Structure 1
Amino acid sequence: MSERIRLDIPVVLPDVGIAADRCIARLTALLAAHEGVEEAHLRNSTSAETLPQLCVHYDPDAVSLARIRDMISTAGATITDQFGHLVWQAEGISHQRRARTVAETLSASPGVVEAVVSAAGMIRIEFDRQKTSEEAIRAELDRLDAPIITSETASASHAHDHKHRKGDHSNDNDAEGHDHAHGGIFGSQTELIFALLCGGLLASGFAAEKLTSAPPWFSLTCYLAAYGFGGWFTLREAIDNLRLKRFEIDTLMLVAAAGAGALGAWAEGALLLFLFSLGHALEHYAMGRAKRAIEALAELAPRTAMVRRGEGQVEIPVEDLVIGDTVVVKPNERLAADGFVVTGRSSVNQAPVTGESVSVDKEPVSDRAQAASRPDTVSAEHRVFAGTINGPGAIEIAVTRLSADTTLAKVVQMVSEAETQKSPTQRFTDRFERVFVPTVLALVMVLLFAWTVVDEPFRDSFYRAMAVLVAASPCALAIATPSAVLSGVARAARGGVLIKGGGPLENLGSLTALAFDKTGTLTEGRPRITDIVPASGVSESDLMKIAVAVERLSDHPLAAAIVRDGEQFLGGQDIPVASDLSSLTGRGVQASVAGKIVLIGKAEMFGHDGFPALSSQSAQTIEHLREQGRTTMAVQIGDRDLGIIGLLDTPRAAAKQTIARLKALGILRMIMISGDNQRVAAAVAGEVGIDEAWGDLMPEDKVAAIAKLRAEMPVAMVGDGVNDAPAMANATVGIAMGAAGSDVALETADVALMADDLSHLPFAVGLSLSTRWVIRQNLVVSLGVVALLVPATVMGLGIGPAVMAHEGSTLLVVFNALRLLAYRDNGGGK
């Protein structure tokens, strides 16, 4: 089913004056390339009063409105305040069928654009603020006996601007009381206790009937009481389904139990309800294990922080921290906030957030004010994250993010959202069920009238029809995929990998091709100057002074290397002041020094678009350096060459081993794409074990390259999630490295490797392969049991054995999925 959303262009892109602006074309191309988006186009206004609109057609099962917000945000746009985004944890949702009932009821509510509910009780809602409100949605959930126990509200202007309310955390003391109030008189265990009471009453009634001379009314009373306890939760679910004009397994079980009672087979009816309610309760328990694995992430960060106030220290709740606070962290304590180290040295165990197995050494920044002005550029040896564990040294950190905006908080929120994203297999099984259930009902209706054809009493025909009803109900099929996805996403998050839903989780394991960006992905991303070759009549110092002056104004990795190594080379010499920097995307930069135009960039930039050509000497130098695998930057002032600077970015230590492990996992084709010269790209690719290298690519060429690859086969794009965002959006799966602390990387990627460590990629691919294998196993079990039970019940198998096999298969697929929580990467040991 396709949904549409329309956004006013002046709101989406405030700086765009006309609808024909190139930004619109880039935005629509970015959206249309993404899986689940069927079409993105401009809807022109029909009158002068009507604003032009961006119209997006999308499949809500494949991509959420929140994800579309992320993509629009990645394109440098904002989104209208009209649509609200809620992510809530609800009580009273313990299985897939209940989740589907709540989701469909919410979706039918006025103003709700999308409502998706996971079997673990996570709810994601997109709503139109002009037609409904958060309070109205809460009231509807209370009516459905699915009250909210944890809530995160994202503002419409940004998909991850979350407001955490005090007392809404799942591990608060009041949360337990809330659960007790709504879960029943025994709290969250009410369903299991009711099932056991049903079983006890069934056993008592059966024993009294068969083994004693108790009056018949005693056994009947026990059976009726068993009906009450066993059917309590089932009846509630059936009523909700009937309101939606839908027959689910809960309704069918009640019909079967009522039919058994009408025929006087009270014991069999009570047995049916006992086994069904016990199966539900155990399924609830098993799914709770996967849910607790995700909730454990939220509990990593401490609830209080020790903050320096003047000469003293005071302990405050983490919600009261403000940016700029100085937090004191004692040895072996968990860090309470994201920030950078200002005092002390220590090693920090970052495994809870990034999955890194080795502690990372931390040291204070040299200039606190400068680091505070640009916190996102602070290097890894200074940056720390909430939820990580300090080592032996006491440190003090400057807070750079509020508690609701920490990397850990974003990961928890995104993992919660991922629970509600359906995988391709789940979308298939949902479509299958929509055809299969009516078919079963038709078969049952035929069997009800079998007594008119076969010489048997109506009682036997009715009993057989009810047995077929039970046997053919696709409970195991409904939970087979969601349980595996939930477990897989939870396990990935514990290993420092954020996977945004079942789609990326399944797709990653089906890929046979991977494309890598070079700089910062296969290489360290910290190039160093290896060669300084001045032109005739120019000294090395003169060349480096101009280069450093200009590159100080740029934030490109190559610019940072030139500034760092150039300042060290100059040793404190005076450096002129540059101004008016302009970036020539993918080629270089232009600035002004002492009134003269300075150009620094690739050789291919010169001699085109009005720029002076390089001298033959400079061209020969560049050719020679490229043969040695160097990245080259030519420097020109006015129309005179100053010289060539050669740089080398070393491949990551783990790159070669990672590529070998990926090949062992079945990735047949790997391509490195780079904006660097073809020979330099080929040299780096050969060093890490990649056969194909595509160099000389501008940013738009990378997008075209990924689109070309995707047309041939499914392909994943691995990059930093910032500069590579458009190319990643065009890939089947976009994978960002080093996403911890980078909002852009977290939002743009389908899969985010939290650590800046390439070795986590085989773990993600291996987990995806295991998840796909578990899903296939679950589908075989769920469909196989139905295929065996239906003929068996038609031939006379009773309701009791049918229910046992039915509930057994449901529990089997759930516990099979839970094996993913214990997945270990043989190569990386996660």
Structure 2
Amino acid sequence: MTVAETTRLTLPVEGMTCAGCAGRVERALAAVPGVTSASVNLATRRATVEGDELDPAALRAAVEKTGYSSPEETIEIGVEGMTCASCAGRVERALAALPGVTSASVNLATRRATIRHIPDAVSRADLEAAIRKAGYQPVPEAPAHQDHHHHGDGAGDPHAHHAGPPQAGEEAGLRRDTLIALALAAPLFIIEMGGHLVPALHHAVDGQIWRWVQFALATIVLFGPGWRFHRIGWPALLRGGPEMNSLVALGTLAAWGYSAVVTLFPSVVPEGQRHVYFEASAVIVALVLLGRWLEARSRGRASAAIRRLLDLQPPTARVERDGREMEIPAAELRVGDVMSLRPGERVPTDAVVLEGESHIDESMVTGESLPVRRRPGDAVVGGTVNGKGALRLRATAVGSATVLARITKLVEEAQGGKLPIQALADRVTRWFVPAVIAVAALTFLGWLALGPDLPHALVATVAVLIIACPCAMGLATPVAVMVGTGRGAELGVLFRRGAALQALREVKTVAMDKTGTLTEGQPALTDFIPAPGFDEAGLLPLIAAAESGSEHPLAEAIRAAAIQRGLPVPAASGFEAIPGMGLRAMVDGRRMEVGADRFMASLGLDVTPFAEDAARLGGQGRTPLYAAVDGRLAALLAVADPVRPGSAPAMEALRGMGLHLAMVSGDSRRTAEAIARPLGIEAVEAEVLPEGKVDAVRRLRGQGSLAFVGDGINDAPALAAADVGIAIGTGTDVAIESGDVVLMSGDPRGIPTAIALSRATIRNIWQNLFWAFAYNVVLIPVAVAGLLSPVLAAAAMGLSSVFVVGNALRLRGFQAPGQQA
């Protein structure tokens, strides 16, 4: 970025505590190239820098290198009038050139610019002015009260106002212009084509009057519906930054201008060259508009995922206020409000169940198809659907703090993000349009020198200008990302960053945390083998009662098993814990002793009858326990952290995708391998302390890229250290901040779904880029050779954009592995 006069920037600095800190930051800033003076105010926590060529990113880096931080702000602005990748590139460069802007990214599919900047260094008005100067229109900020029915507190939610830019308005304008252009161009086209087929018709319309009619119709089309091309295209061309509109404006005006001269001043043109091309100029405008209209409609469908998410929240809620039940807009809900929910209704906002029991369909949030049982104390998510029970709920989060709002924000951010693959398209399109204009000029001069006449040179030149519009290239990546991330959200797979879509495709090894990821994360009673003369129904309540005095997770598992089976647990007395052995208690007048085999041996009890079963259970990674009643050995129990039902099919799917599998666990090697072996996991890192997970990830990386899957609570460092971090959540308490990809349902089957979706999206992008480039590469030479009519060129160009968007929309039908129709 170059600025002629001295520029002044003020940036915030956090973390300073004394004058020494301020001096250190000052010296660091003064050393940055281009800085002529730097001063730091400790009281206001701000640094003021002056210089000729200030690079905000370099200034922030200098502050951070000294150990302090200089936060950035992010702002999103809708941009109207962009039609191709070079438009997006021009807006991007105009925004990045502003002092105080550290980065700018423009997404052609969502029509949004995301700008990161130093706080207070640049205002929204400055950014909007830069967009206008580049030749495009910024979308004004929506008033805070809009869209209340979607979000709880529209005012406080930066995402409450848009499911993308004003798509509907743009589509309606294009539809109107397209229909007018088609209606006026159709008679020109029919008469022109009919004249070639029916000689009598050709002679009938060959007179000067018909030429005046053609002139009138074409002029209305070109400067009515077609004015949008000239309004943007010519200023861009004069600024030395031509783009797609410039190509259409140049081509159509050349065809119309030549025909107008022939009509108005025939004597200027030699008699043999008095051809008119009004039909070509009008039909080109109509076809390009038709292509854009179809593309806008398709893009509207591509962003439907966000609209569907926003529409999940019901517009109203029934709350209890001042002792009576009343219906209020969901936007007015407050944390702590008590709501009533009838069967079949949507939950108005995130809440906890106070009374009642029901099954809730959470598929729209987690992708999990089976309804989940919810009882008092359980959390429910706003937007999910209640089953047959009536519930009383207390609101725990509203507006932008709800799970649904966070998901919507994540999907929007991922859709707006740029993939590394896009840099290729951006680099090509930056020089592509100027190169096309150069080729068109050479075509014109070549045909003029070597060809039959001026009209021939003109037609070939117009065809080159029209066929080469790079709009398909600009849409190839962002539309596929929009559809892919939207489909992921429907399947319970959230991409926090669009770039994670591409990174996941490169993964060769998937390493997983064991507890809470492959297993349920809490112990459960897995086996109960009674000794002769005892039965489970009579014995389990006694053991559960004895265990009720213990805080140990194994005790909790036994108590939970008795309650689950509906067995009444009696009261216990005389509880005594024997360290390292087990426990003793009196239950219903019987002496209960529960513990390890060494405890039974110390009581003089022989456990050999259970030796075979105990060895088998131990080999499966389960913890064997024994129970004795009144000094008699009564039962062998086993407690384990059970493997999630989805783990085995998930591992099978991942192996089928050619991936290496690894497991990281803090458990003993024997327990870890007992879980890993049946699941077909090759590499096991056992007895790993939480802080050692990062080293384990580095060791497992080996040759290729690695994804780490964890439950996001104590796995955050390992998730960050991996090439792609996949956080496995459970819908409500999902650790959204920890991974690049978040699996909302907590089901490991989401892992192959995420990877398969990533592969499908990137494959779709390559297909799009191939067709966008191939179509230009193949047809430009045909146009240069004079073998392509401008009308066909316009039809082909429009179709290429529609084809790319249509191909991306196929991702809406993506099915998770193992669920293909």
Same fold judged by TM-score > 0.5?
yes
In 2: Cα distance, 1:722 partner to 1:86 partner? 30
Cα pair 2:653 2:817 within 8 Å, conserved = no
Cα pair 1:89 1:151 within 8 Å, conserved = no
In 1: Cα distance, 2:13 partner to 2:615 partner? 51
Residue pairs, 1:483-632, within 5 angstroms: 483-528=479-524, 548=551, 629-630=621-622
Q: Identify which of 309, 328, 335 aligns with 2:347.
A: 335
Q: Which residue number in structure 2 is paired with residue 697 of structure 1?
A: 688
In 1: Cα distance, 2:765 partner to 2:572 partner? 63
Q: Which residue number in structure 2 is paired with residue 60 of structure 1?
A: none
Distance 1:167 1:424, change over 3 A: closer
Q: CA deviation at 1:311?
A: 2.8
Cα pair 1:511 1:716 within 8 Å, conserved = yes
Q: Identify which of 15, 31, 56 aligns with 1:10.
A: 15
Q: CA deviation at 1:408?
A: 0.3
In 2: Cα distance, 1:559 partner to 1:245 partner? 77
Distance 1:813 1:715, change over 3 A: same
Q: CA deviation at 1:768?
A: 2.1
Q: Identify which of 780, 791, 794 aligns with 2:784.
A: 794
Distance 1:494 1:48, change over 3 A: closer
Q: Which moved more, 1:691-700 or 1:393-402?
A: 691-700
Q: CA deviation at 1:770?
A: 1.9
Deviation string for 1:292-328 (max 9, x for gaps)?
Answer: 2321211110122111124311222223222221111
Counterpart residue type for residue 238 of structure 1: G
Q: Identify which of 115, 118, 121 aligns with 2:104.
A: 115
Cα pair 1:93 1:146 within 8 Å, conserved = no
Q: Which residue number in structure 1 is paired with residue 314 of structure 2?
A: 302
Distance 1:791 1:243, change over 3 A: closer
Is the radius of gyration larger for structure 1 or structure 2? 2
Q: Which residue number in structure 2 is paired with residue 191 of structure 1?
A: 174
In 2: Cα distance, 1:519 partner to 1:428 partner? 41
Q: CA deviation at 1:203?
A: 2.2
Distance 1:18 1:700, change over 3 A: farther
Q: TM-score, normalised by structure 2?
A: 0.72
Deviation string for 1:544-570 (max 9, x for gaps)?
Answer: 89973xx8xxxxx99987998999999
Q: Which residue number in structure 2 is paired with residue 713 of structure 1?
A: 704
Deviation string for 1:126-179 (max 9, x for gaps)?
Answer: 2332222346546766894342476899xxxxxxx99546995459xxx99x88
Q: Which residue number in structure 1 is paired with residue 540 of structure 2?
A: none
Counterpart residue type for residue 222 of structure 2: Y
* Aligned: 1:750 with 2:740: yes
Cα pair 1:149 1:170 within 8 Å, conserved = no
Q: Which residue number in structure 2 is paired with residue 728 of structure 1?
A: 719
Q: Secondary structure at the match of 1:712?
A: coil
Cα pair 1:257 1:272 within 8 Å, conserved = yes
Q: Which residue number in structure 2 is paired with residue 220 of structure 1?
A: 215
In 2: Cα distance, 1:219 partner to 1:353 partner? 57
Q: CA deviation at 1:410?
A: 0.5
Q: CA deviation at 1:823?
A: 1.7
In 2: Cα distance, 1:47 partner to 1:190 partner? 52
Deviation string for 1:465-490 (max 9, x for gaps)?
Answer: 33223333332222112111111111
Cα pair 1:347 1:359 within 8 Å, conserved = yes
Q: Secondary structure at the match of 1:335?
A: coil
Q: Secondary structure at the match of 1:337?
A: coil
How many residue pairs get aligned? The number is 676
* Aligned: 1:200 with 2:183: yes
Q: CA deviation at 1:571?
A: 6.0
Q: Which residue number in structure 1 is paired with residue 72 of structure 2?
A: 83
Residue pairs, 1:402-481, within 5 angstroms: 402-451=398-447, 454-481=450-477
Q: Secondary structure at the match of 2:727?
A: strand
Q: Which residue number in structure 2 is paired with residue 272 of structure 1?
A: 284
In 1: Cα distance, 2:559 partner to 2:102 partner? 51
Cα pair 1:739 1:752 within 8 Å, conserved = no
In 1: Cα distance, 2:431 partner to 2:488 partner? 34
Deviation string for 1:488-528 (max 9, x for gaps)?
Answer: 11111112211234422233233232111101010011124
Q: Secondary structure at the match of 1:715?
A: strand
Cα pair 2:89 2:426 within 8 Å, conserved = no
* Aligned: 1:311 with 2:306: no
Distance 1:336 1:236, change over 3 A: farther
Q: Which runs of 5 or more residues in structure 1 are unaligned?
A: 20-44, 54-64, 154-160, 366-381, 532-539, 552-556, 577-621, 634-644
Q: Secondary structure at the match of 1:424?
A: coil
Q: Identify which of 763, 767, 772 aligns with 1:773.
A: 763
Q: Which moved more, 1:324-333 or 1:121-130?
A: 121-130
Q: Which moved more, 1:788-797 or 1:705-714?
A: 705-714
Q: Secondary structure at the match of 1:736?
A: strand
Q: Which residue number in structure 2 is paired with residue 759 of structure 1?
A: 749
Distance 1:330 1:565, change over 3 A: closer
Distance 1:142 1:468, change over 3 A: closer
In 2: Cα distance, 1:471 partner to 1:92 partner? 20
Distance 1:703 1:236, change over 3 A: farther
In 1: Cα distance, 2:40 partner to 2:574 partner? 59
Q: Secondary structure at the match of 1:746?
A: coil
In 2: Cα distance, 1:623 partner to 1:8 partner? 62
* Aligned: 1:229 with 2:221: no
In 2: Cα distance, 1:652 partner to 1:330 partner? 32
Distance 1:240 1:732, change over 3 A: farther
Q: Identify which of 337, 356, 377 aligns with 2:368.
A: 356
Cα pair 2:336 2:394 within 8 Å, conserved = yes
In 1: Cα distance, 2:427 partner to 2:10 partner? 24
In 1: Cα distance, 2:10 partner to 2:700 partner? 30
Q: Secondary structure at the match of 1:784?
A: helix
Residue pairs, 1:636-655, within 5 angstroms: 648-655=640-647
* Aligned: 1:782 with 2:763: no
RMSD: 4.6
Q: Which moved more, 1:683-692 or 1:433-442?
A: 433-442
Percent identical across equivalent pairs?
A: 32
Deviation string for 1:226-275 (max 9, x for gaps)?
Answer: 11234222234325645864221211121111222233222222222222
Counterpart residue type for residue 196 of structure 1: L
In 1: Cα distance, 2:456 partner to 2:731 partner? 64
Q: CA deviation at 1:627?
A: 5.6
Cα pair 1:87 1:152 within 8 Å, conserved = no
Deviation string for 1:557-589 (max 9, x for gaps)?
Answer: 99987998999999676999xxxxxxxxxxxxx
Q: CA deviation at 1:785?
A: 1.2
Cα pair 1:208 1:219 within 8 Å, conserved = no
In 1: Cα distance, 2:320 partner to 2:224 partner? 57
Distance 1:226 1:515, change over 3 A: same
Deviation string for 1:37-64 (max 9, x for gaps)?
Answer: xxxxxxxx9999789x9xxxxxxxxxxx
Counterpart residue type for residue 175 of structure 2: L
Q: Secondary structure at the match of 2:287?
A: helix
Q: Secondary structure at the match of 2:742?
A: strand
Q: Secondary structure at the match of 2:810?
A: helix
Q: Which moved more, 1:649-658 or 1:238-247?
A: 238-247
In 1: Cα distance, 2:117 partner to 2:648 partner? 47
In 1: Cα distance, 2:176 partner to 2:575 partner? 78
Q: TM-score, normalised by structure 1?
A: 0.72
Q: Secondary structure at the match of 1:198?
A: helix
Cα pair 1:477 1:779 within 8 Å, conserved = yes
Q: Which moved more, 1:288-297 or 1:564-573?
A: 564-573
